[in-house]
Amino acid sequence: MIGLRIPRPGDSEEIFKFCMNMNREWNFMLGQIINTAHHLILVDYLKEEYGIESSLHLQLLHRHFCRLAREVEKEKEPLFAKGVIAFEYERLIGNVDKIMIAFSQTDSFWKAYHSAQRHFGRYGFRSIPTSSSYQETVLSFLEALGYQKEDFIFFP
């Protein structure tokens, strides 16, 4: 799990920044990053090791993304999450263009989508990252979206 780092007591500037960010949809975005990274490995594992397609996961992903594709978001974090979900959809199901109108997506959506391709595009059963490599990839992804790496912490 990953979350926002709680600032140290006494650092009023950091505490103010933290409080101003509390109303954002951090859980949705951060949770989606972690889910996507794990899904890429799990779905690949089930397919390669057992010859099973994760049809339930793919159906749920399809339904979720169909709903999200119609939603209009204005905040960055949900748009970033939507871009990550679009990347996962494209990678696991393909043809994301059939579900959404690509030209109507925002810069934040595309920034997350392309960054997810760069950071998580090689994730799969044969390329499971180490814990430290995984954390660094997630933090680099967040940094590519414009966040400070130091603002986040991983929980065991």
Report the candidate in 33, 50, 41, 106 with the shortest Cα–Cα distance to residue 76: 106
| Model pTM score | 0.83
If DSSP codes are grouped into helix, strand and coil, which group holds residue 151? helix
Question: How many structural domains comprise the chain?
Answer: 1
Separation between Cα atoms, residue 92 and residue 86, nearest integer Å: 10
20 backbone dihedrals φ, ψ, rounded to 5°: -70, -25
pLDDT on residue 127: 86
The domain in which residue 52 lies consists of 2-154
pLDDT on residue 21: 67
pLDDT on residue 2: 86
> What is the mean pLDDT, run by run of 10 residues, along the chain of 156 residues?
76 70 78 92 87 79 81 86 91 78 80 96 90 95 94 87
